Amino acid sequence: MSRVISIFDTTLRDGTQGEGISLSADDKLKIAKKLNELGVHYIEGGIPGSNSKDIEFFKRVQELRLDAKIVAFGSTRRKDSVAAQDANLQRILESGAQVATLVGKSWDFHVHTALQTTLDENLAMIYDSIAFLKQGGMEVIFDAEHFFDGFKHNPEYAAAVMKKAEEAGADWVVMCDTNGGTMPHEVHDIVTKLTGQLTTAHLGVHTHNDCELAVANTLSAVQAGARQVQGTINGLGERCGNANLCSVIPNLQLKLGYDCIPEERLKQLTNTARYISEVANVNMPVNQPYVGNASFAHKGGIHVSAIMRDSRTYEHIAPELVGNKQRILVSELAGQSNILSKAKDMGIELDPTSPDTRGVIDRIKDLEHQGYQFEGADASLELLIREASGEIKELFAFESFKMLVEKSAGRPTVSEAFVKLNVGGTSVYTAAEGNGPVNALDNALRKALVQYFPSLREMHLSDYKVRVLDENDATAAKVRVLIESKNYEHAWSTVGVSGNVIEASWEALVDSFRHALLAEELTEVEDGDLSINKRGIVNH
């Protein structure tokens, strides 16, 4: 049997059913482009005609000329009607998509209870709808809804649905675990019984994660003979989500030896996952397998020293295979060896015997003693290490800031920040409002810098956390602020500590902007020559 697995992405359709996810047509097009770069075979874009965003998506996606096939989704015709007169089927045909996914019932209970029709009429609905779209020249994928539940209750009927879809010309028949309640051994048993029963259509699988088994069930189905997997990036989807393609693809390819996407494209997996979570504005769990920020992070002396000898001691794959990377976490307990390997991670070779290195290690220890924590603030740590190794030339210098918070009876609170910086010898003074003091500071700082460094437009604050450090002495307590910032490619975290929450936030904010500019600093600033001139700054 072929080892080639067809990857069907439904992030833009089933994925958008997830709570809190809303994508504009532009967002959908950006995601489609990214999925195409990853090398998925099918991109299900939505339901044509269901809303203006999807109409616009299907129109504009054609201009992108993607290699992946674009799929339009819909249901089989309504009961007791004619497929050719069904407005939804008509819209699928006219959508411009090459492929249609039609969902239909395969569980007798659903036919009686949800559709309220006869088992025969349901078969006719499936047959007519598929045949209609096949006559229109489309590739047709039939999603057999609740297939596993249906098969458990009435195997003859579920199998008859499948046969009917094939008879009507379906290219793929996809078994769906719509309620997500099936166990992996059941999936394996059922798919094994059906493999070989179809002659022209191929089998696929579509699972949901209600028992946290969507990935496991997908793998079981493939091992039993399914050749198409449907899922979403980061497992987005309604309730507990769909099968997570970011785990399904590397599991199939790296562990089980199936052929999903080209090896060099697999290296884009981490970047794709992060990009899509950014566009969809949903946080990725740090411990998400394969592509998470902590998937290959190591902390603590013994692990780290073993990892430095051979990464296979604590890593199940080389992180580079999926475009992720190893991270060494620094904690107060770990001391010198962790800081040195962290620096190495950044491409900086610190000589452990040099006074400069001793200086930076002492400084980090001292800061940790004051309440800074660099485990959750990689970017601040990187700035410290690079500073110590003399690599950084600051692109802007802080002069002062002022905050105004005003509350009058019956009016909303207004926060306003005034920021004074020096950029390349020029004094810059800005003021900005915000929905809170930190937001106002962020806005003012951004306004001051963005005119000189337009790339900062792409970054934004994605998380803000405050922690009181000495809870016994609440009035005099210090606070630690952790800020996470993002752009389309990266996320980075910075830290600030002070007795004053605004000051701590300011420190973390400034580090966040400095880190965003790091790449520019390292490449563009040489020996006192402020080459930021080319951005239009007159260098005095």
Residues of this chain that interact with Zn ion (CB under 5 A) are: 14
Closest CB to Zn ion among 276 and 340? 276
Nearest approach, Cβ of residue 163 and Zn ion (Å):
22
Nearest approach, Cβ of residue 249 and Zn ion (Å):
18
Nearest approach, Cβ of residue 445 and Zn ion (Å):
43
For the record, the structure tokens of 107 come out as 């569980």
Nearest approach, Cβ of residue 206 and Zn ion (Å):
6
Closest CB to Zn ion among 15 and 323? 15
Nearest approach, Cβ of residue 485 and Zn ion (Å):
34
- Decide if 50 contacts 41 (C-beta within 8 A): no
Nearest approach, Cβ of residue 49 and Zn ion (Å):
20
Q: Which residues contact 407 (CB under 8 A, 6 or more apart)?
A: 413, 414
d(Cα 496, Cα 280) in Å, to the nearest integer? 29
Regarding beta strands 460-468 and 479-486, do their DSSP bridges make them parallel or antiparallel, or are they unpaired?
antiparallel
Closest CB to Zn ion among 14 and 382? 14
Bridge partner list, 242: 208
d(Cα 413, Cα 332) in Å, to the nearest integer? 40
Closest CB to Zn ion among 35 and 381? 35
d(Cα 41, Cα 26) in Å, to the nearest integer? 21
Task: Please name the helix (run of DSSP H) or strand (run of DSSP E) that holds residue 336, with its range, or none.
Answer: helix 336-345
Closest CB to Zn ion among 73 and 506? 73
Closest CB to Zn ion among 108 and 145? 145
Q: What angle do CA 143, 145, 150 make, to 5 degrees?
A: 130
Largest CA distance in the chain: 85
In the three-class reduction of DSSP (H, G, I as helix; E, B as strand; rest coil), residue 371 is classed as coil
Nearest approach, Cβ of residue 16 and Zn ion (Å):
11
Nearest approach, Cβ of residue 237 and Zn ion (Å):
6
CA-nearest of 459, 458, 399 to 427 is 399
Q: What angle do CA 170, 35, 325 make, to 5 degrees?
A: 135
Nearest approach, Cβ of residue 232 and Zn ion (Å):
9
Half-sphere CA count of 210, side-chain side, radius 13 A = 12
Closest CB to Zn ion among 17 and 268? 17
Specify the residue for token string 């399914």: 226
Measured on CA atoms in the order 26, 289, 508, 475, is the torsion positive or negative? Answer: positive
Closest CB to Zn ion among 8 and 396? 8
Closest CB to Zn ion among 48 and 235? 235
What are residue 375's phi and psi, to 5 degrees?
Answer: -60, -40
Of all residues in the shown chain, the one whose CB is closest to Zn ion is: 14
**Burial 339-376, CB ≥16 within 10 A → b, else e:** bbbbbeeeeeebeeeeeebeebbeebeebbeebbbbbb
